[in-house]
Structure 1
Amino acid sequence: MQKKTWKRLVRLTLQTKRLFTCLKNCTLAQKNEKHFLISILFFILIQSSLYCQDDCFKKLYSAGEEKFMLRNYQEAKRIWSLALKCSDLLPVNIRQLNSRIREVNDDDGDNIINLFDKCPNDAGLTPTGCPSNPDKDYDGIPDAQDRCPDFRGPNYTQGCPDPDFDSIPYPIDRCPLQFGHRTCNGCPDQDRDSISDVQDRCPNQFGLVRYDGCPDSDSDEVPDHLDSCPKTEGNLSNGCLCETPTPRNMVLVKGGDFKLDSLEDSNGRFISKHYKVKDFFIATYETTFEEYDNLRKSYPDLPKTIVPDWDRGKHPVIYVTWRDVIMYCNFRSIQEKLSQVYTIKGDFITIDSTANGYRLPTELEWEYAATERGKNILLGNGMNIANPTQINYDKSGFNRSVEVGRYMPNQLGLYDMSGNVWELVDGSYRLPIEERLKIIKGGAWRASAQSITVKGKMQVRVTDSTAHLGFRLARSIFK
């Protein structure tokens, strides 16, 4: 301290000497000794005052530090405030004093100065100065109990915001600006069917989830907005009753949307396409020897089949060519007074899409029925795993076909859609017979487990007739 004082006195002496020289030259030039002496005295007084002020600041600052070390923070603040009054010419020291005064202040009134208070804006009783139950968002709910501690919210939502006042907090509320219901995650539901109006295709009518919120008044599995006969229980895809009675040993299959893997390009790659399937009839069983032989008695032109090594009767008819099957369909239509579907002209066969007679199912119809109207299943009996006791294939041990209806059907009531015999399905007709290959589906008694799946298929020539090739009938429905 003493060394600094001497340096200050030396600096003051040098400044006085320079001023004296300057004033002397000035006054001598003016020939006025009186003014010279007055100027010297005035300068000495100013420098002495500055020296005293600077010395006063240092003494007061040191005194405040002593009080601070003794934890007398209020007295230290008072002394530093006095030091500010004599240090207005030293900006650096002013900032230093203001900083020290802020440190000893107690902004939140919890008797813990700001220097030691970790929560200077929140009054607390803990040694750190923070409240025992902090509340960052100041909504009156402690952070430990606040589900949204960073957002202000009411008590009934446990501290989470609820701008639409539906008692469903914002993180859960999918419609935060619309008053809604808890069953719809906070979105409005005018018809109270637990389907939000945003997703409800019929928001003003109480409906079912599987029909996107639309009702099914007649319980025919066709929602009212798609039902052409909403007040009458129907059995067709448009919700109306079929005017054509269901033929004996056939099943009515209601149409719908279906994805089929079609063989499209020359490389044999399968391409999936979506199709709209119309309502149709399909035979409950594969056509049997008994049915074939009875029709042949009335129509001798129907080709005779080879007699297998096992019984005919209820076994599926085999050893038939595709042309034999076409002729069977036409004779059966004639017998029941229906219009013929197929017309044979030499080597060409055409189809009448408006005829109501018997025909082969298309590949699309066959697979749609085998999958129980488009379900994600592998086998035609509704299962996903081949069981030798449920399907007649190479693991069953019969080494021949068995009577139709021996195993359990699928949910549509169709038997042997997998195994027993391969089944011919319809394809292109405007080609010479010799150039056509026909698709067969379903697998047979000598097929592997991979071949009897509903997606499995093979191709045969139209002239082929084997011990594992048969067919199943179908009919169109006209509304």
Structure 2
Amino acid sequence: MKYRIFMSVMAAGLLVWFFQAPRFAGSVAGHACSACEPRESSASPCPDHPRVSETGVMVYVEGGTFDMGDTFGEGYPDEWPVHPVTVRPFYLGRYAVTFDEYDAFCEATGREKPDDKGWGRGSRPVIHVNWFDAVDYCNWRSDQEEFKRCYTIEEDEVSWDMSADGYRLPTEAEWEYAAREGGRKVRFGNGGDIADPDAMNYDGSGDHVQPYSVPGVFLGMTLPVGSFRPNALGLYDMTGNVWEWCWDWYDNKYYANSPASDPAGAISGQNRVLRGGSWVSGTRNSRVTIRGRSIPEYRFHSYGFRRARSILRSGTNPE
């Protein structure tokens, strides 16, 4: 079965919506080890950071039913109503796609490499990638591993072949289910209910402090993937560091009419969904239920992505 969607033609002057204007600290205060400071891609990562060969690992996520949306009653209107959703088992990347991984794609295809803002490449999550970049990467990665491509892109039309076993972007429902450790009632993607700068990379400074956060700092940059502990499913950085593109078109009233099983977003729209918050997001905008959105052509210094794969038949975990 193919799930077909149609892209809207965007006016050149269209304003892009995102949750929080970028802010840059005059000085960087942090909690990570010195090797986490901006570095060239040839530098050695911290001992606890994943080796490049490990960043492509996929994690098996057992399917199930959960209450999707803001179960704490402290979010935005588009996070309601809370509604039951069932998702099938799937695979999700243990880490967001890194510069090392994305740079290999660029070198193989002749694409221009995205800017790293001088923070370093290597095991940092790739930034300055739009939704189409992420889709193209998934298709290329599928080719490299001899999986069937999920996506067909023809000018302003994108098709998702749901019978394909290749790499793809997660749906918004899959992403939230995994960030919530299989649907648990948690605020943040590391399994915690209190935002802590020792546990995630977000803007915890100044007026971004909430009753459910520890007064913290604003690092003003991404950190290498895996800089903090994972959640119970073994997924890293599901809160903060970079916003992660999802497959879905954004619809602020979608939750009122969402299918109960494997929802894949609105049929069409102007914005694609981003999830998880980023290094520049405040505490409230770092919760697992926050629904970011942006036009799919837009590249930003806090936008990245994570790969998913469908489970079409019984088989072994790709780990």
In which range does the TM-score fall when normalised by the shorter chain?
0.5 to 0.7
2:281: which partner in 1?
A: 447
Q: Which amino acid in 2 is paired with 1:280?
A: F
Give distance in 2, aligned partners of 1:335 and 1:268. 38
Question: Mapping of 1:376-415 within 5 angstroms?
Answer: 376-395=185-204, 396-415=217-236
1:374-404 CA distances to partner (integer Å, 9 max, x unpaired)?
A: 1111110011000111111112331000000
Q: Could you say if the C-alpha distance between residues 323 and 388 of structure 1 is closer, same or farther in structure 2, counting changes exceeding 3 Å?
A: same
1:377-433 CA distances to partner (integer Å, 9 max, x unpaired)?
A: 11100110001111111123310000000100011100000011111111149978x
Q: 1:261 aligns with which of 50, 69, 74?
A: 69
Give the CA deviation at 1:467.
Answer: 0.6
Q: Percent of pairs identical after alignment? A: 38
Give the CA deviation at 1:457.
Answer: 1.7
- 2:298 is the counterpart of 1:464: yes
Give the CA deviation at 1:310.
Answer: 1.1
- Structure 1 or 2: more helix by fraction: 1
1:369: which partner in 2?
A: 178
User: For the pair shown, which has the larger CA radius of gyration, 1 or 2?
Assistant: 1
Contact 1:350 1:430 in 2 (8 A): no
Contact 1:253 1:282 in 2 (8 A): yes
Q: 2:246 aligns with which of 408, 425, 442?
A: 425
2:153: which partner in 1?
A: 344
SS in 1 for 2:199: coil
Q: Which amino acid in 2 is paired with 1:466?
A: F
Give distance in 1, aligned partners of 2:79 and 2:67. 16
Give distance in 2, aligned partners of 1:280 and 1:269. 23
2:139: which partner in 1?
A: 330
SS in 1 for 2:85: strand
Give distance in 2, aligned partners of 1:466 and 1:283. 21
SS in 1 for 2:102: helix
TM-score norm. by structure 2 comes to 0.67
2:237: which partner in 1?
A: 416
SS in 1 for 2:176: helix
TM-score norm. by structure 1 comes to 0.45
Give distance in 1, aligned partners of 2:112 and 2:161. 23
Contact 2:151 2:159 in 1 (8 A): yes
1:89-126 CA distances to partner (integer Å, 9 max, x unpaired)?
A: xxxxxxxxxxxxxxxxxxxxxxxxxxxxxxxxxxxxxx
Q: Could you say if the C-alpha distance between residues 335 and 450 of structure 1 is closer, same or farther in structure 2, counting changes exceeding 3 Å?
A: same
1:107: which partner in 2?
A: none
Unmatched tracts of structure 1, length 5 or more: 1-246
Contact 1:325 1:471 in 2 (8 A): yes
Q: 2:126 aligns with which of 295, 317, 332?
A: 317
1:281: which partner in 2?
A: 91
Unmatched tracts of structure 2, length 5 or more: 1-54, 71-76, 205-216, 250-264, 314-319
Q: 2:168 aligns with which of 349, 354, 359?
A: 359
Q: Which amino acid in 2 is paired with 1:397?
A: F
SS in 2 for 1:392: coil
Q: Which amino acid in 2 is paired with 1:410?
A: N
Give distance in 1, aligned partners of 2:236 and 2:116. 24
2:50: which partner in 1?
A: none
Question: Mapping of 1:80-229 within 5 angstroms?
Answer: none
- 2:82 is the counterpart of 1:272: yes
Q: Could you say if the C-alpha distance between residues 409 and 268 of structure 1 is closer, same or farther in structure 2, counting changes exceeding 3 Å?
A: closer
- How many residue pairs get aligned? The number is 226
Contact 2:167 2:308 in 1 (8 A): yes
> Cα RMSD (Å) of the superposition?
2.0
SS in 2 for 1:312: coil
